[in-house]
Chain A
Amino acid sequence: MAAGPRTPLPLLLPLLLVLLPLAAAVYEDQVGKFDWRQQYVGKLKFASLEASQGSKKLVVATEENVVAALNSRSGEILWRHVDKGTPEGAVDAMLIHGQDAITVSSAGRILRSWETNIGGLNWETSLDTGSFQGAALVGLPEAVKYVAVLKKAALSLHYLSNGHQKWVEHLPESESTQYELLYSRGTGVIHVVGIVPQSHLNVLTFNVEDGEITRQVRVAAPWLGELQGSCAVVGEAVLVCVDAPERSLHLCALDTEQDMRHIPLQSMELEFADDFQARILATQPSVTSASRTQFFLQLSPSHFSLLQYKQGLLSHLRDFQQAALVSFATTGEKTVAAVLTCRNELKPGSSDGLHAGSTLEDARRQDSLICSNQTYNINLYLVETGQRLLDTTITFSLEQGGAKPQQLYIQVFLKKDDSVGYRALVQTEDHMLMFLQQPGKVVWSREESLAEVVSLEMVDLPLTGAQAELEGEFGKKADGLLGMFLKRLSSQLILLQAWTAHLWKMFYDARKPRSQIKNEINIDNLARDEFNLQKMMVMVTASGKLFGIESSSGTILWKQYLRNVRPGSSFKLMVQRTTAHFPHPPQCTLLVKDKETKMSFLYVFNPIFGKRSQVAPPVLKRPILQTLLLPIMDQDYAKVLLLIDDEYKVTPFPATKNVLRQLEEIAHSIYFYLVDAEQGKLSGFRLKKDLSTEEIWEVAIPTEVQRIVAVKGKRSNEHVHSQGRVMGDRSVLYKSLNPNLLAVVTESTDTHHERTFIGIYLMDGVTGRIIHSSVQKKAKGPVHMVHSENWVVYQYWNTKARRNEFTVLELYEGTEQYNATAFSSLDRPILPQVLQQSYIFPSAISAMEATITERGITSRHLLIGLPSGAILSLPKALLDPRRPEIPTEQSREENLIPYSPDVQIHAERFINYNQTIFRMRGIYTAPSGLESTCLVVAYGLDIFQTRVCPSKQFDVLKDDYDYVLISSVLFGLVFATMITKRLAQPSLDPSPPGGWSQTPLFHLAGRYL
């Protein structure tokens, strides 16, 4: 080996050594064993249900910019296409024609046609720019051949077969007129209706063949403010508009007439609700024929009327009080109206037309339908007559206190006996999809709010009853020696019983094939496993719905909808009491802050069962700026939560006397910081005994140069096992482990690619002292950052080199510790040494997090979510500022990898093999009971859960460990020892003095081994 240090082998050796543990991939039979993925589509924007009994799919387009087909029997996704998450990818319209789905996306920029059976793209064309107004299929008398796209200033016609443009026509007076309505009925013309608010309507008639404007009419309508909603086309191209203040309808035949006819509705005893924009809902079963002459008029949020306009006569068919949603559906020649009403036991008559005066009063009083018992009926009515179809009621119930139905889609089909059957797709406010069948069976349901997880915590499961019994023994005070002894006996008996039951189950299961064993998990048999690998995931979604999901299988065990959460609120989830304090239930607190009013409220619940806690949270009268979870506990073992409002007053929760006394004692050592990104101000406060605060430091980052984009502290549950790193010369480089350290990232306001920069400030959150500040020049965000132990890793876009880069900062105290016994931010006069290094990363990043383990012994990996949907597990050792440019003897001793400026993506480091996660927004890591294992949840449009072992599974035997072999060898050896002992005995007898007698035996045993 003395051949010289220049050989490439020693150079590569450390690299190979480091790469060795990375070869841990998933075997084929391990797929889905530790991991699961759930795919979602998001809240529905458009949905189409085929009108035949045998159809198997629903085509949907969603707010998450997804076009997908769902299996209508099971609710599974048949295929799914995910567009960009930005408004650029938004689906503006979806039209169904036979087996094709036509979508318009990117604000009317792209027209696509999908084959709905397999999800293939038929064709795609890009359209001219211009704000999108509407799209419609255009039918000729014999067939549907074209799709018309209406833009602000132009109308274009495209072939359905290949997307080619047939013609494009400029719309006259498009500066002042908003063209919004497109209508055709197979007569060879297209009507376009535009509005000049409070003035008139422009009705244009185009010839389908050459795009020539054959007719242009100006219809005076000074009372009309908007077209969408308040106008619709019924029958033979008759435009119907509602004028709520005048309590009347206005009609105009688009083909012939030039004025609107005014029809007052007073005679029909239709009551318009005040301050409600009345709406008209019409239906056109096929674009090659005229619309139905019947239409719904919505008079108030819960009051609909079915009207008919036929041969110049307006008639009132039926009134629907207390209706939440209405919808039309057509099969063959029959068109039906579906009406979703609240099933009210006390007033069953509300849906059959006979309404008492009190119901009317109710309808007027309440703004929208309030259904106290959350039970709803769907009924079908024949549109021609308004008659209810017999045996068409679907009754379903939603959770008490839950969300209301928001959208209704109906799939109608004719049964063999020519009667009408149907299925209904209902979407509720909490983004739950339910597919219902007569007479009220829920075929499947999907929780689409899980496509927008915003916050996540993992909570340990509770102990089993037996374990809890044993634990409880220690909690109580002794009641005599004998009593304690008996108690111990009884609890041990229970343990024995549980163990035998467990053995029996194992024996019983062992005889069955593996695939049949199903461990049904439900809320009753939830218990912690021996390695604490199974946890409860508490997820908060943007719609305000909370979920409790069991982590090993992904089963939703509980869900809770918070009604008073408005969209766009921000959430903060905190675990106040874990499951470790047995008789007391675990307790989670969710802080919800409204985006507009800035007002906050607390929701306290049990994370295992999802029940709202009995503890009354404080009423927050002022907006909350900051929360602080203190390590001190009240007598019920709930950690104290401090809420700081915008007057810098502190509200503790729980606020018992015990807590207040403790707070008073340690008030002088409670510090917190506030960040005002708008003013670029960071300030620190100290708690005073009377729970008021005083400002103690202030740091100003001038907003004219840079703005704060992220402030990140360390995770409070993080353990760091080693205080330092042993260097090549056997000295120790001590880490600077400041638990109060904050990493502040700023971005420059100047976005010119030469002058843009990213600023990094490391500051102490208690003293406000800036420990380190650096500027990454010619860099811009979005910045992803991980802050842990003594290091910060951040990723940014280098505008000069046009690539993604990582920079790692590590803080060391040096070879001597300032105060090895205790840490205090107030007493750290020496600034730490900051080491830094940068690397090129070949991909952008959508989320980043570091693994975390119970004791912090296992080496750390960075989990990097890539836009491709993969999660890369990158060893932290590759992002180590001490990587030497030229390896030396000492760096080799330390196992440092020689520096190379690029970090490569190896596919075998993907922890989710082919289970891609679309639009990943975050990765959450949690320690398990095993030191080697870290639990990982990635969330975005999909949710993926798995375990990772950064240093391999050093503390568990592998799955394929050969127990039979090892035990047979062991038993064999024991027997062999016994036999040889017997064999050896007579030959050594009579023996020399005792010390010698054992020696030959060792030799023999050694040989057998």
Chain B
Amino acid sequence: MCPFPHVPCPHVPLSLCPCVPMSLSLSLSLSPLPTSRCPCPYPMSPSLSPCPMSLSPSLPLSLLSPCPLSPSLSPCPCPHVPVPMSPCPHVPIPCPCPCPHVPVPLSPVPLSPADDAPRFRRRGTLSLSWGPEPTLTLTQKPLGDEERARLREVAARDGLYRVRVPRRPLGPGEEGGSEFVTSFVRACALLESHLSDQLSLHLDVAGHVVALGVVAAPGTCRGSAVPDGHLELFNTSVALRQPLPAATPETAAFIRHLEQEQAQRARNPQEQKSFFAKYWMYIIPIVLFLMMSGAPDAGGAQGGGTGGGGGAGVR
């Protein structure tokens, strides 16, 4: 059932574990994460075909699980491959092999002390699934005690809370990346919004990651105290934004509109009558009235000129 049987799925080193080790992403240590072991908590689903029929809107549920693909079945971490000349021109998405799951690790939390470069820690994983309706899902872990303390500390200093994602979606087992798109929000705003924020991932026409946006809602800093209990789980909404098609001149609609009007006019010949032809019955009485009333008015003005206060009668 693969839609493109002749297209080989992009190469991915099979030896690597495709899944993100959940336990490791929780750790706050700054040391590089070990990738040799694969403590994958989810069962592999070996029955999946290399090119799942993800064009259909109903995705197998297991695909959306954080660790769905068996390493032996060559998953398709492909959305970053720009293929403008897609073998299937009717497929609007650039990837010939639409892969429903690409982990995009969110490596956030700089919470950097004032002096040095920000140190990012993993906050969660953004999964981008291609299809007719590309969707973005986020899995993230709760804020740890140490992180919470640092967030408070940075917020007190009016520091920034930064978020970044790698520019290229990571293949399974890859960690980090070298190029990122970064965004920030004021740490106090995030704190006072009780960790509710909105993430938006912007893609370009070919599906490359262009930018990440983060907004805390509400975004104000009033200095109100927030209890620890409200600072455990992120209340995050994610949005995927792709460029909208820009407007084009609406010639067709305009011409249709003109034609309609013309047709209506043809059907309704009365409409074409001139102003006078239509309103003569109103105009003539008015003119007559003006002519009638004009003559005595002139007479009255003359009378007023000679007769001093006599003009008071004319209004």
**Contact across chains for B186 and A770 when beta carbons are under 8 A apart:** no
A840 to B251, CA, bound (A): 9
A516 to B180, CA, bound (A): 70
**Contact across chains for A760 and B183 when beta carbons are under 8 A apart:** no
A773 to B205, CA, bound (A): 10
Given contacts A698-B182, A702-B210, contact A829 B215 (CB under 8 A): yes
| Residues in A whose Cβ lies below 8 Å from that of B217 | 829
The reply on A767 being an interface residue by CB < 8 A is: yes
**Contact across chains for B243 and A699 when beta carbons are under 8 A apart:** no
User: Which chain A residue shows the least CB distance to B279?
Assistant: A3
The reply on B228 being an interface residue by CB < 8 A is: no
| Residues in A whose Cβ lies below 8 Å from that of B164 | 698
Q: Mark B205-247, 1 if CB is under 8 A from A, else 0.
A: 1101111010111111000000000000000000001111111
Q: Mark A815-842, 1 if CB is under 8 A from B, else 0.
A: 0000000000011110000001111100
Q: Mark A16-43, 1 if CB is under 8 A from B, else 0.
A: 0000000000000000000000000000
User: Which chain B residue shows the least CB distance to A775?
Assistant: B243
Q: A1000: shortest Cβ distance to chain B, in Å?
A: 6
The reply on A620 being an interface residue by CB < 8 A is: no
| Residues in A whose Cβ lies below 8 Å from that of B241 | 770, 773
| B241-271 residues at the A interface, CB under 8 angstroms | 241-251, 253-254, 257, 264, 268, 271
| Residues in A whose Cβ lies below 8 Å from that of B133 | none
**Contact across chains for B202 and A770 when beta carbons are under 8 A apart:** yes
Given contacts A829-B215, A829-B216, contact A760 B82 (CB under 8 A): no
The reply on B285 being an interface residue by CB < 8 A is: no
The reply on A987 being an interface residue by CB < 8 A is: yes
Please tell me which stretch of A506-514, A894-902, A943-951 contacts chain B, meaning at least 4 of its Cβ atoms lie within 8 angstroms of it. A894-902
The reply on B278 being an interface residue by CB < 8 A is: yes
User: Which chain B residue shows the least CB distance to A760?
Assistant: B246
Query: Total number of A-B contacts with CB less than 8 angstroms?
Result: 152
Given contacts A807-B247, A899-B254, contact A705 B308 (CB under 8 A): no
Q: A1001: shortest Cβ distance to chain B, in Å?
A: 11
Q: Mark A770-784, 1 if CB is under 8 A from B, else 0.
A: 101111110000000
Contact partner of B250 (CB less than 8 A), chosen from A697, A777, A899, is A899
| Residues in A whose Cβ lies below 8 Å from that of B244 | 772-775
User: Which chain A residue shows the least CB distance to B242?
Assistant: A773
User: Which chain B residue shows the least CB distance to A1006?
Assistant: B311
**Contact across chains for B213 and A1007 when beta carbons are under 8 A apart:** no
User: Which chain A residue shows the least CB distance to B182?
Assistant: A698
| Residues in B whose Cβ lies below 8 Å from that of A838 | 246-250
Given contacts A769-B213, A770-B202, A885-B257, contact A705 B304 (CB under 8 A): no
| Residues in B whose Cβ lies below 8 Å from that of A704 | 82
A885 to B275, CA, bound (A): 26
Contact partner of B245 (CB less than 8 A), chosen from A7, A705, A755, A777, is A777
| Residues in B whose Cβ lies below 8 Å from that of A700 | 167, 179, 181, 208-211
Give the size category of A's interface with B.
Answer: 35 or more
| Residues in A whose Cβ lies below 8 Å from that of B211 | 699-700, 763, 768-770
A546 to B220, CA, bound (A): 48
Q: B191: shortest Cβ distance to chain A, in Å?
A: 14
The reply on B204 being an interface residue by CB < 8 A is: yes
The reply on B198 being an interface residue by CB < 8 A is: yes
**Contact across chains for A706 and B204 when beta carbons are under 8 A apart:** yes
A700 to B243, CA, bound (A): 14
**Contact across chains for A699 and B250 when beta carbons are under 8 A apart:** no
| Residues in B whose Cβ lies below 8 Å from that of A755 | 84
The reply on B122 being an interface residue by CB < 8 A is: no
| Residue from B249, B271, B279 having most chain A Cβ neighbours under 10 A | B249
The reply on A695 being an interface residue by CB < 8 A is: yes
Q: Mark A968-1009, 1 if CB is under 8 A from B, else 0.
A: 000000000000000000010000000000001001000100
| A659-695 residues at the B interface, CB under 8 angstroms | 668, 686, 695
Q: A756: shortest Cβ distance to chain B, in Å?
A: 11
**Contact across chains for A901 and B189 when beta carbons are under 8 A apart:** no
| Residues in B whose Cβ lies below 8 Å from that of A885 | 250, 253-254, 257
Given contacts A807-B247, A902-B249, contact A1000 B309 (CB under 8 A): yes
| Residues in B whose Cβ lies below 8 Å from that of A807 | 246-247
**Contact across chains for B247 and A836 when beta carbons are under 8 A apart:** yes
**Contact across chains for A826 and B254 when beta carbons are under 8 A apart:** no
The reply on B158 being an interface residue by CB < 8 A is: yes
**Contact across chains for A701 and B204 when beta carbons are under 8 A apart:** yes
The reply on B194 being an interface residue by CB < 8 A is: no
Contact partner of B249 (CB less than 8 A), chosen from A698, A901, A1007, is A901
The reply on B312 being an interface residue by CB < 8 A is: yes
| Residues in B whose Cβ lies below 8 Å from that of A775 | 205, 243-246
**Contact across chains for B206 and A827 when beta carbons are under 8 A apart:** no
| Residues in A whose Cβ lies below 8 Å from that of B215 | 769, 828-829
| Residues in A whose Cβ lies below 8 Å from that of B160 | 686, 696
| A87-142 residues at the B interface, CB under 8 angstroms | none
User: Which chain B residue shows the least CB distance to A683?
Assistant: B182
Contact partner of B162 (CB less than 8 A), chosen from A696, A759, A805, A836, is A696
A761 to B275, CA, bound (A): 50
**Contact across chains for A702 and B204 when beta carbons are under 8 A apart:** yes
A415 to B84, CA, bound (A): 76
Contact partner of B186 (CB less than 8 A), chosen from A759, A760, A826, is A826
The reply on B120 being an interface residue by CB < 8 A is: no
| Residues in A whose Cβ lies below 8 Å from that of B304 | 1007
Q: Mark B283-315, 1 if CB is under 8 A from A, else 0.
A: 000000000000000000100110011011000
The reply on A966 being an interface residue by CB < 8 A is: no
| A871-887 residues at the B interface, CB under 8 angstroms | 881, 885-886
**Contact across chains for B184 and A767 when beta carbons are under 8 A apart:** yes
**Contact across chains for A829 and B198 when beta carbons are under 8 A apart:** yes
User: Which chain B residue shows the least CB distance to A759?
Assistant: B243
Q: B107: shortest Cβ distance to chain A, in Å?
A: 13
| Residues in A whose Cβ lies below 8 Å from that of B271 | 6-8
**Contact across chains for B251 and A901 when beta carbons are under 8 A apart:** yes
| B158-177 residues at the A interface, CB under 8 angstroms | 158, 160, 162, 164, 167
Given contacts A829-B218, A885-B257, contact A705 B181 (CB under 8 A): no
**Contact across chains for B202 and A773 when beta carbons are under 8 A apart:** yes
| Residues in A whose Cβ lies below 8 Å from that of B184 | 696-697, 767-768
Given contacts A695-B182, A774-B245, contact A705 B208 (CB under 8 A): yes
Q: B204: shortest Cβ distance to chain A, in Å?
A: 6
User: Which chain A residue shows the least CB distance to B215?
Assistant: A829
| Residue from B185, B241, B244, B247 having most chain A Cβ neighbours under 10 A | B247
A700 to B186, CA, bound (A): 22
**Contact across chains for A827 and B220 when beta carbons are under 8 A apart:** yes
Contact partner of A705 (CB less than 8 A), chosen from B198, B204, B213, B251, is B204
The reply on A409 being an interface residue by CB < 8 A is: no
| Residues in A whose Cβ lies below 8 Å from that of B242 | 773
A901 to B180, CA, bound (A): 42
A758 to B246, CA, bound (A): 9
Given contacts A700-B167, A769-B183, contact A827 B219 (CB under 8 A): yes
| B75-121 residues at the A interface, CB under 8 angstroms | 82, 84
**Contact across chains for B210 and A757 when beta carbons are under 8 A apart:** no
A826 to B219, CA, bound (A): 7
| A730-780 residues at the B interface, CB under 8 angstroms | 750, 755, 757-761, 763, 767-770, 772-777
A700 to B80, CA, bound (A): 14
Contact partner of A698 (CB less than 8 A), chosen from B180, B254, B278, is B180
User: Which chain A residue shows the least CB distance to B214?
Assistant: A769
Top 9 A-B pairs, shortest CB-CB distance:
A827-B219, A901-B249, A699-B211, A776-B246, A775-B243, A836-B247, A774-B246, A838-B247, A698-B182
18 contacts between A and B (CB under 8 A): A6-B271, A699-B211, A700-B210, A701-B210, A702-B82, A702-B204, A702-B206, A704-B82, A705-B208, A750-B84, A758-B246, A768-B182, A770-B211, A773-B243, A807-B247, A885-B254, A987-B308, A1003-B312
Beyond A826-B219, A1003-B309, 13 additional pairs, beta carbon < 8 A: A696-B162, A697-B183, A698-B181, A701-B204, A702-B208, A768-B183, A769-B213, A770-B200, A770-B241, A773-B202, A805-B249, A807-B247, A987-B308
